[in-house]
Amino acid sequence: MKSAYSQRVQNEPAVRLSAVRRLYEVSARMGAGRSLAETLQAVVDGVVDGLGFGIAVLNLRYPDGKFEVIAVAGSPEARAALLGRVSAADLFDAEFAIADVWGKLRFVPHERLPEGEVTGWVPDVPVSDAPDAWHPLDALFAPLYSSEGELVGMLSVDLPEDQRRPGPIHRELLEIFATQAGVAIDKARLTDQLLAEKTRLEASEATFRLVFEGAGNGMATIAFDGPDLGRVLRVNDAFCRITGYTADQLVGMRLVSFLRDDEPEQTRAELEDVAASNGAYRFERVFTQPSGNAIWLGGTASLVEQGAGQPRILLVQIDDVTARKDAERQLRHHAAHDPLTGLPNRRLLQQRFAKVLEQTRFTGRPGALLFCDLNHFKLVNDSYGHEAGDHALREIATRLSTAVRHGDTVARLGGDEFAVLAEDITDDDLDTLIARLEDAVSRPLPGIDIRVTTSVGTVPIMPTSSDLDVLLHEADQAMYVAKKNRRLS
């Protein structure tokens, strides 16, 4: 005959599967409760209906640290005796001091309780002599935490259905359920706060509501004070349309979770200035839509006082400014790049030169400026036309960009003249670079029989260098010497 223990071990997979199914069902019911009261009752009902305990009691923790029994399931007597009881913040300290630590759970065995010190309600059930039997004075607690790690309540359970102290499976399931319950309570509490806020302001906000909901630009209110700092309280339809998220997805979440802020310290300082002056904060930030598409949001955030004792909120107004930012980026690109080849132009070359010169002065290692002039390119235009010539220039620009080292800059100066800016380069590397440039240009061009080559003049960039135009002139003169030597050779 099999022992009770061996039967229990053999049945463990079936028990686990059944328990997981029940956990899934009760978790779904718990998450469906919209108000705090509904959610709390769903938690204790879920423990009794789905996790195999006869009684569940939930103490809600208030901001001052005190606890109140808000929901009881499984026993009308326990409900009558406990519901509404308010206790001090240190209610559980003494019991937890003598408790066994079961992961996130705390189990207080009856034999450790000081004699005569029994608090709360005790079920009237027979006492078993079995070594692992559940005793009426045993206590099992599951602290409930929000997603931010804040203690929001304490769940206590009693009378396991098999009348034994819970094993690893039921402890694990209770831990999982407690984690979900804490998050659900936190969200429901926030929902209740929002509903209370809406009720309080309902009489006086009719005009604001019309403006808020009917505005063509996105509007949202965000908590500015207290533990809900940064959470979205309310959004209008335009805000949802612009961001791509629904109101249910946004309300209760922290807006910074959706924004890309490259300068968080500056943002924090600017918001502190807003708080000090009750002014408006203007911003432009990248926002990620649910599809993963990044858009630019531009707008203002204004601090709104709600009256004495009431937390302040930010009224945020946004518009999608992606088109403007794209246009600005294109203008900046066009201002700094050659329109035919897409290479940096002289203006961007000047900016890159300043950085190379700064690095040269810092390290003492020279850079180089190379001036490249194309040979026989005029024949391409004369023989094949300017359209073919433009195609050839784009091809040569690509080849030059491929031939240089990573970090070097290839720029088009105009016509068939190019410049290469090289940082921290030795004489041997410079010779190799020149050879690569000459080889890249001299390869046959598609559809063109004329062999185009390049003459390259170089000038070092030293710590004493200062003027790009002077260096370009010197490199141009060196290029003519190279061109003359090519003709003589």
- The answer to the question of residue 364 being in a domain is yes
- Which helix (H) or strand (E) covers residue 139, if one does? strand 139-145
The domain that contains 269 carries what CATH number?
A: 3.30.450.20
Q: What is the pLDDT of residues 89-127, one digit of tens each?
A: 888 888 898 999 999 999 999 888 887 666 678 888 888
Quickly state the pLDDT bin for 399 (edges 50, 70, 90).
Answer: very high
Do 355 and 445 lie in a common domain? yes
Closest CA to 282 of 316, 253, 308, 256: 316
Contact yes or no for 381/389 (Cβ under 8 A):
yes
Residue 4 clears pLDDT 70, i.e. is over it: no
pLDDT for the residue numbered 6 = 45
Q: What is the pLDDT of residue 196?
A: 73
Give residue 32's pLDDT: 57
pTM of the model: 0.45
pLDDT at res. 259: 77
Q: In this model, does residue 417 exceed pLDDT 90?
A: yes
User: DSSP character for 312?
Assistant: P
Q: Do 47 and 135 fall within a single domain?
A: yes
The pLDDT, as a whole number, for residue 8 is 45
DSSP single-letter state for residue 120: S
Is pLDDT at 5 greater than 90 in this prediction? no
**Quick count: other Cβ atoms within 10 Å of Cβ 379?**
15
* CA gap 245, 255 in Å, rounded: 12
Domain presence at residue 171: yes
What is the pLDDT, as a whole number, of residue 27?
A: 60
**Per-residue pLDDT for 400 more than 80?**
yes
Q: What is the pLDDT of residue 408?
A: 94
Q: Count CA within 13 A, CB hemisphere, residue 260.
A: 10
- Intra-chain end-to-end CA distance of the chain, in Å: 106
Let me know whether 220 and 298 are in one domain: yes
- 233 in the same domain as 182: no
Confidence label for 266 from pLDDT (cuts 50, 70 and 90): low
Q: DSSP label at 114?
A: P
pLDDT at 445 over 80: yes
Domain that holds residue 291: 204-325
Q: Do 273 and 141 belong to one domain?
A: no
Q: Check residue 7 and give its pLDDT.
A: 46
How sure is the predictor about 2, in pLDDT bands with cuts at 50, 70 and 90?
very low
C-alpha pair distances (Å), 135 with each of 111, 309, 314, 399: 9, 48, 53, 84
Does residue 385 fall inside a structural domain?
yes
Q: Could you tell me the CATH number of the domain that includes residue 371?
A: 3.30.70.270
State which of 281, 305, 325 marks the end of a domain. 325
Mean pLDDT of 470-478: 94
- The three-class DSSP label of residue 71 is strand
Binned at pLDDT 50, 70 and 90, residue 9 comes out as very low
Q: Report yes or no on 414 lying in a domain.
A: yes
Please tell me whether residues 211 and 171 are part of one structural domain.
no
3-state secondary structure string, 32-62?
Answer: HCCCHHHHHHHHHHHHHHHCCEEEEEEEEEC
Angle (CA) 342-346-351 rounded to 5° is 100
Q: Is 331 within a domain? A: no
* pLDDT for residue 340: 93
User: Residue 355 belongs to what H/E stretch?
Assistant: helix 346-363
In a domain? residue 332: no
Provide mean pLDDT across the span 369-384: 93
Q: What is the domain-level CATH number for residue 150?
A: 3.30.450.40
Residues 321 and 341 in one domain: no
Q: How many structural domains are present in the chain?
A: 3
pLDDT of residue 286: 86
- Give yes or no: residues 147 and 76 share one domain: yes
58 neighbors 71 (Cβ within 8 angstroms): yes
As a whole number, mean pLDDT of residues 172-193 equals 85
* Separation between Cα atoms, residue 276 and residue 265, nearest integer Å: 17
Residue 363 sits in the same domain as residue 272? no
- Report pLDDT digits (tens) over 202-242: 655 666 666 677 677 888 888 888 788 888 888 888 999 98
How far is residue 462 CA from its own chain's centroid?
A: 45
H or E element in which residue 233 lies:
strand 232-235
Task: Provide the pLDDT for residue 201.
Answer: 58
Last residue of a domain, one of 290, 325, 360: 325
Residue-level pLDDT at 22: 59
Last residue of a domain, one of 292, 325, 358: 325
| pLDDT (average), residues 39-61 | 88
- Please, which pLDDT band fits residue 392 given cuts at 50, 70 and 90? very high
Q: Is residue 274 part of a domain?
A: yes
Q: What is the arithmetic mean of pLDDT over 427-436?
A: 94
Could you tell me if 276 and 299 lie in one domain?
A: yes
> Do 31 and 85 share a structural domain?
yes
> Do 42 and 184 belong to one domain?
yes
Whether pLDDT at 411 is above 60: yes
Q: Does residue 194 lie within any of the structural domains? A: no
Structure tokens given for 83: 């519901």
* 302-325 per-residue burial string, b: 16 or more CB within 10 A, e: under 16: ebeeeeeeebebbbbbbebbbeeb
